[in-house]
């Protein structure tokens, strides 16, 4: 089972993306986090229970780039696959994210059918093509 942390502040986009991720019938568990601070708290505490992070760039409290930079400094999160999913096509944003340790940068599609297609490709790749690192044991809360 692929365990995904989706960091998205827009409830409508989060709901649509959650449905799109689950549409192909892959065995997944999606945890939604609404802002950067909650993402840091959850992922530093439970990184061992997460296989993939889908991280929006424009978030309240802490931006996606700040979340990415902080996670890459945490021992249990250094190898955690993080995909930036953003509406920004600005090459400076793309460059900053890769320099900060993003594993991929994906533009958010505008049309619903494109969102479903992109989500299917993401799940397919991270479920069947990518070899994921063994996750460290999660911290006990």
| Secondary structure E strands in the chain | 2-7, 28-33, 52-55, 82-86, 104-107
The two structure tokens encoding residue 18: 């959650």
pLDDT at position 141:
36
**What count of residues does the chain have?**
141
User: Considering the domain 2-127 in this protein, what is its CATH number?
Assistant: 3.40.50.2300
Instruction: Give me the residues paired with residue 29 across strands.
Output: 3
pLDDT tens-place string over residues 80-128: 999 999 999 999 999 999 999 999 999 999 999 999 999 999 999 998 8
Q: Tell me the domain boundaries of the chain.
A: 2-127
Overall pTM surpassing 0.85 (yes/no): yes
């Amino acid at each position: 089972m692929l365990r995904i942390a989706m960091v998205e502040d827009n409830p409508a986009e989060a709901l649509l993306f959650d449905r799109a991720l689950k549409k192909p019938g892959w065995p997944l568990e999606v945890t939604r986090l609404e802002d950067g601070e909650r993402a840091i708290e959850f992922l530093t505490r439970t990184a061992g229970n997460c296989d993939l992070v889908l991280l929006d760039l424009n978030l309240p409290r802490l931006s996606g780039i700040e979340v990415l930079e902080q996670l890459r400094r945490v021992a249990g999160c250094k190898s955690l696959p993080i995909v930036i999913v953003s509406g920004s096509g600005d090459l400076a944003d793309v460059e900053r994210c890769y320099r900060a340790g993003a594993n991929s940068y994906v533009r958010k599609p505008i049309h619903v059918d494109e969102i479903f297609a992109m989500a299917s490709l993401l799940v397919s790749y991270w479920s069947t093509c990518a070899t994921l690192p063994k996750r460290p044991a999660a911290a006990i809360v």
